[in-house]
């Protein structure tokens, strides 16, 4: 009777470990997926913010009628129409 007790103890420990390891690995996998989705969301927000900033800059340039750009396009139009 006493010679079986260590084996029973080891067997129960092994069974407990086998039952808990898949749960912990699933939790780690779930956390990794959540972290990846959070990182992707942050990258997406940064990217959309950059796009919005560039659109704002373009609108501001059109509002101010950036003189260098405006004069270059105006000169090009004059040159283009005089050539024809």
Number of Cα atoms under 13 Å in the Cβ half of residue 45:
6
* Least confident among 14-18, 28-32, 39-43, 68-72: 68-72
Mean pLDDT value of segment 58-72: 59
Say if 1 falls within a structural domain. no
Q: Rounded CA gap, 84 and 76, in Å? A: 13
Q: Rounded CA gap, 22 and 15, in Å? A: 12
Say if 6 falls within a structural domain. no
Say if 7 falls within a structural domain. no
Say if 56 falls within a structural domain. yes
Say if 43 falls within a structural domain. yes
| Domain extent for 78 | 15-83
23, 28, 34, 38: CA torsion to nearest 10: 170
Alpha-carbon distances, residue 79 vs 65, 69, 71 (angstroms): 20, 15, 12
pTM over 0.85: no
Q: What are the tens digits of pLDDT across the range 23-51?
A: 666 677 677 777 777 777 777 777 677 77
Say if 4 falls within a structural domain. no
Say if 3 falls within a structural domain. no
Structural domains counted in the chain: 1
Which segments of the chain does DSSP mark as H helices, in order?
A: 5-64, 67-83
């Amino acid at each position: 009777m006493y010679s079986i007790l260590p084996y029973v103890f080891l067997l129960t420990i092994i069974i407990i470990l086998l039952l808990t390891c898949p749960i912990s690995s699933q939790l780690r996998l779930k956390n990794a997926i959540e972290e990846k989705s959070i990182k992707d969301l942050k990258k997406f927000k940064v990217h959309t913010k950059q796009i919005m900033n560039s659109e704002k800059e373009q609108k501001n340039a059109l509002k101010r009628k950036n003189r260098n750009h405006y004069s270059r396009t105006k000169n090009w139009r004059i040159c283009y129409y005089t050539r024809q």
